[in-house]
Amino acid sequence: MTADRIWYIYLLECADGTLYTGITVDTERRVRCHNSGHGARYTRTRLPVRLVASRPLPSHAEAVRQERSLKMRSPRRKRGFFEG
């Protein structure tokens, strides 16, 4: 990992209306990966997914911290994180 790499936290909406949160360095590539069935186990049975929002973060450590925190929030609060 390089220090200058920008990490993103992203929010997907699955076909069944549920939300999925993840981190990546390439949001577009990761969404394609999810939609091809090679993403997270959670999204594989809920295709297609669509990108709702993403936010850049300064480091991998910060991305992991934010992802862990966001996964425990309600759908409304998850959406609010990206709006605020």
pLDDT in tens, 4-61: 789 999 999 999 999 999 999 999 999 999 999 998 999 999 999 999 999 999 999 9
pLDDT of residue 3: 58
Strand partners, 55: 9
What does pTM read for this prediction? 0.91
pLDDT of residue 4: 72
Pairing of strands 7-14, 19-24: antiparallel
Total tally of structural domains belonging to the chain: 1
pLDDT of residue 1: 47
Residue 52 backbone phi and psi in degrees, to 5: -90, -45
The verdict on residue 24 lying in a domain is yes
The verdict on residue 70 lying in a domain is yes
The verdict on residue 2 lying in a domain is no
Domain that holds residue 68: 7-83
What is the radius of gyration, based on Cα positions, of the chain?
A: 12
